[in-house]
Amino acid sequence: MFSSSHGVASQSLTYPYSLRHLKCCSSQQTKSGIALLYNKETRNTYDVRLKLTKEVLTIQKLDVVCTRGGDPRLNVNLLRSAGDEVTITVRYFREVPSFLKLPLDSPGPPSDQSSRGSSPQFDSGLHLNGNSSNTAPSSPSSPPANEPKYEKRWLDAVSLPLVMARVSRYKAERDVLRSNSFEVCTMDGASSNILQFCTAAECTDWLQAISTNISDLTLDQMKMINRNCSPGDQIVHMGWVCENPQATNGSSLSTFKFLALRGPSLYIFRSPPVNATDWENAETMYNLYEVLFKVHKPWMAEDCWIQARLYLGLQPDEEPRDGEPFCFSILVGHGQSHTFSVEMTSDLAAWEKSFQRAVFVEVQRVGSKTYLCSSQGKVLCFTIDFGSGFTCSESSSQNILWRYKFSQLKGSSDDGKTRVKLLFKNAENRQIEMKELEFANLTAVLHCIHSFIAAKVASVDPVFVNSQSISGKYMS
């Protein structure tokens, strides 16, 4: 499972040993404990020790090393397989005496008095107390001075940087959950390790601890970037998600994507952006106020978003489908969508809150948005303004045909293609007036209306407004 940086030859024997006596200890940013590491090639699992710090997850293997007497170049490695026994691998480093290179259980050569006159022949009877099978055990009270002494030690085998790393309970390219296990993958995807645990509770505990440290490091990265960016180009949130394209193209293959809410756009990357060029070469970009965020399971949404959906006559979110406990969709123009899944409910909550915040900030920054439309053969301009509401004017003369506040919009209906009927309540006669318009990208317009109404409702809530200070939250 592990590779050494030295040139080694190895042979194996078994030795019964239990690792379960080691206890797990944790603190706010550090944690340690025993887990099983899954080898994809051999499909075996091995006992390892995990050490979690704020920036690194270290996977340690158990070695038995010679601390006194014997040949200091001799190192014994213990790896516990799926059974109850431990595999001891004897590894010889650099120049090794010829008799040590013989196969196990083969007779050794006569001892050389000039080099190892007092050393017994090496055989397969190696014990942790240094005695070989052809030597009587020494008295504990008076061990020989040159008797080898071995100690079990955890040695670092793999160090995984947690900056922009990801964790996932899903099997690669399949929307199937692992049982009591998850994968830890570095930012570039070069190092991937599957960790297994005895119980679901222990698995969840480690998943949360690692995810928390990754989130904290991501927040530090955001703060660093935001210090050098204008207020209109701030990063609100970013992180890994798993995209399930099944809803759009019928494929069952899932892929990991990196999402970012920055300035006016929603970015979708194949890997985390590390420089300015990466930000310019995103896989996909969408205008935030033309995108609708939808949670796949019942979730406690903000009042402003509930009221905004009521204004548009939108139905509550559907019940979650099997296998998608923490999923959300990004609905974009022309009826297209992306479906993503996250690992924990806290991730889902973070994306929902961040999306609300990003849209609110962008709507206030833009102020208004105008779309070309048509009605009864005339080309018109339909403007959504954060301050005044809805305005429709002639495209050529800019003559205003009608104007309504956000609060006067009482409902809407559309044909799912290009046409929409907006129902407004006349402020004077209290009658409902219908305005029918036709747009080239109707979905984007409806999403924009939703975003402006949600931001307008949120703007009258002092608590919500005070919590949206990007400069204070992500630059200090």
For residue 210, the tally of other CB atoms under 10 A from its CB is 23
Q: Does residue 448 share a domain with residue 373?
A: yes
Summarize the confidence of residues 365-388 as an average pLDDT.
96
* Contact predicate 86/76, CB 8 Å: no
What pLDDT score was predicted for residue 461? 74
* Contact predicate 358/222, CB 8 Å: no
Which ranges in 367-441 belong to alpha helices (H)?
none
Per-residue pLDDT for 155 more than 60? yes
Summarize the confidence of residues 352-371 as an average pLDDT.
95
Residue 303 belongs to some domain of the structure: no
Cα 149 from chain centre: 44
Residue 128: pLDDT band with limits 50, 70, 90: very low
Residue 94 belongs to some domain of the structure: no
* Contact predicate 149/68, CB 8 Å: yes
Q: Does residue 388 share a domain with residue 439?
A: yes
Q: Which two tokens stand for residue 373?
A: 């439309």
Phi and psi of 415, rounded to 5°?
Answer: -90, 5
Structural domain ending residue among the three candidates 212, 228, 244? 228
What pLDDT score was predicted for residue 253? 77
For residues 100, 101, 106, 108, the Cα torsion angle rounded to the nearest 10 degrees is: -40
Residue 102: pLDDT band with limits 50, 70, 90: very low
Q: Which domain holds residue 190?
A: 27-83+148-228
Could you tell me which residue, 240 or 74, shows the higher pLDDT? Answer: 240
- Number of helices (H) and strands (E) in the chain: give both, helices first: 9, 25
Q: Does residue 266 share a domain with residue 185?
A: no
Residue 301 belongs to some domain of the structure: no
What pLDDT score was predicted for residue 227? 94
Summarize the confidence of residues 381-388 as an average pLDDT.
96
Residue 445 belongs to some domain of the structure: yes
Residue 123 belongs to some domain of the structure: no
Per-residue pLDDT for 115 more than 70? no
Do the strands 181-185 and 192-196 form a parallel or antiparallel pair, or are they unpaired?
Answer: antiparallel
How does pLDDT run across 398-452, given as a tens digit for each residue?
A: 899 999 999 999 999 999 899 999 999 998 999 999 999 999 999 999 999 999 9
**Reported pTM:** 0.72
* Contact predicate 39/202, CB 8 Å: no
Per-residue pLDDT for 212 more than 90? yes
CA 410 – CA 416 distance, rounded (Å): 19
Q: What's the whole-number average pLDDT of the chain?
A: 76
Residue 79 belongs to some domain of the structure: yes
Do the strands 149-161 and 56-68 form a parallel or antiparallel pair, or are they unpaired?
Answer: antiparallel
Q: Picking from 53-57, 131-135, 227-231, which range would have the lowest pLDDT averaged per residue? A: 131-135
Residue 466 belongs to some domain of the structure: no
Residue 13 belongs to some domain of the structure: no
Q: Which helix (H) or strand (E) holds 449?
A: helix 442-459
Q: Does residue 172 share a domain with residue 66?
A: yes
Q: Does residue 197 share a domain with residue 154?
A: yes
Q: Does residue 221 share a domain with residue 157?
A: yes
